[in-house]
Amino acid sequence: GDSVTQMEGPVTLSEEACLTINCTYTATGYPSLFWYVQYPGEGLQLLLKATKADDKGSNKGFEATYRKETTSFHLEKGSVQVSDSAVYFCALSDLGQGAQKLVFGQGTRLTINP
Amino acid sequence: DVKVTQSSRYLVKRTGEKVFLECVQDMDHENMFWYRQDPGLGLRLIYFSYDVKMKEKGDIPEGYSVSREKKERFSLILESASTNQTSMYLCASRRPGTGGSGANVLTFGAGSRLTVL
């Protein structure tokens, strides 16, 4: 079945550092890919998405490019802030499976120190 | 913006009790979902519903049931709570399809943290 593998956490960085959180997937169809973020004490919210190969999703300074050849959707940010501290989830939705369920990675906890 | 409201943020129950977790969304979304979130395991799908009175098992349905009598409300039921059901439970809703920026995007509630003693 479909699956998502994320970089193991937790990740701790200093403010203004560069961030990459790796995400790779396996899917039988042509999935849409998502990054969701969960701030402390809150539910998940969509950060960005890409629906086809070579699409780049971006939001709040974060970017991720849908790479079909490497089955990856790595999350990047050039200069992180303390307010970016959260848990990040990579996910896919494979319409080819019919059920349109989202499959999530295990999450990566990010802590940014001032 | 779509709002998904989970009625209880924190619950403490005893083993064997029947537990109801309620979820309401206000944007007429057809699809609704219940996930549980555990450290190191990410989100695992318990049940989902395509529409009113329709339900499908997710990846870990054992020990749970659901009810969707109205489009806006999706309830998760633990018939006899056990300690291994201590977890964070997340409800989500979605407008299905591929058209528009909001399609196929889950909107989550804030979560219900359940402790079973």
Nearest CA in chain B to A105: B42
State residue B85's pLDDT score. Answer: 98
Residue A83 phi, psi (nearest 5): -70, -10
> What local confidence, expressed as pLDDT, does residue A112 receive?
97
Reported as type and span, the H/E element at residue B45 is strand B42-49
Whether pLDDT at A100 is above 70: no
Minimum-distance CB partner of A101 among B40, B41, B45 = B45
Q: Averaged over A9-38, what is the pLDDT?
A: 93
Answer whether residue B59 shows pLDDT above 70: yes
Q: Cβ–Cβ of A43/B56 closer than 8 Å?
A: no
Q: Which residues of A touch B43 (CB under 8 A)?
A: 44, 89, 104, 107
Answer whether B102 touches A (CB < 8 Å).
no
Let me know the angle formed at the C-alpha of B50 by B48 and B52, rounded to the nearest 5 degrees.
105
Instruction: Give the torsion sign (CA, B33, A25, B105, B89).
Output: positive
Retrieve residue A80's tokens.
């992180």
Looking at the complex, report in whole angstroms how far the Cα of residue A68 sits from the nearest Cα belonging to chain B. Answer: 19
Contact list in A for residue B24 (CB cut-off 8 A) is: none
Q: Which residue of A has its CA nearest to B10?
A: A41
What's the confidence (pLDDT) of residue B100? 54
Looking at residues A90-104, what average pLDDT do you find? 74
User: What pLDDT sits at residue A37?
Assistant: 97
pLDDT digits (tens, 9 = 90+) for B87-97: 999 999 987 76
Q: Please tell me if residue A49 touches chain B, with a CB cutoff of 8 Å.
A: yes
In this predicted structure, the answer to whether residue B1 has a pLDDT above a threshold of 90 is: no
Average confidence score pLDDT of chain A: 91
Res B27 pLDDT > 70: yes
Higher pLDDT, B99 or B109: B109
A89 contact residues in B (CB cutoff 8 A): 42-43
- pLDDT the model gives residue A12: 96
pLDDT of residue B98: 57
Q: What is the pLDDT of residue A80?
A: 97
Please indicate whether residue B40 or residue B33 has the higher confidence score (pLDDT).
B33
Q: How far apart are CA B49 and CA B81, in angstroms?
A: 22
pLDDT band at A83 (very low <50, low <70, confident <90, very high): very high
B14 CB-contact burial (10 Å; exposed 0-12 / middle 13-18 / buried 19+): exposed
pLDDT tens digit sequence for A48-74: 999 889 999 999 999 999 999 999 999
Cross-chain Cβ contact B58/A89 below 8 Å = no
For the residues B61-75, what does the mean pLDDT come to? 96
Please name which of A47, A86, A93, A48 lies closest in space to residue B33, comparing C-alpha atoms: A93
Please report which confidence band the pLDDT of residue B106 belongs to, taking 50, 70 and 90 as the band edges.
Answer: confident
Residue, of A88 and A101, whose pLDDT is higher: A88
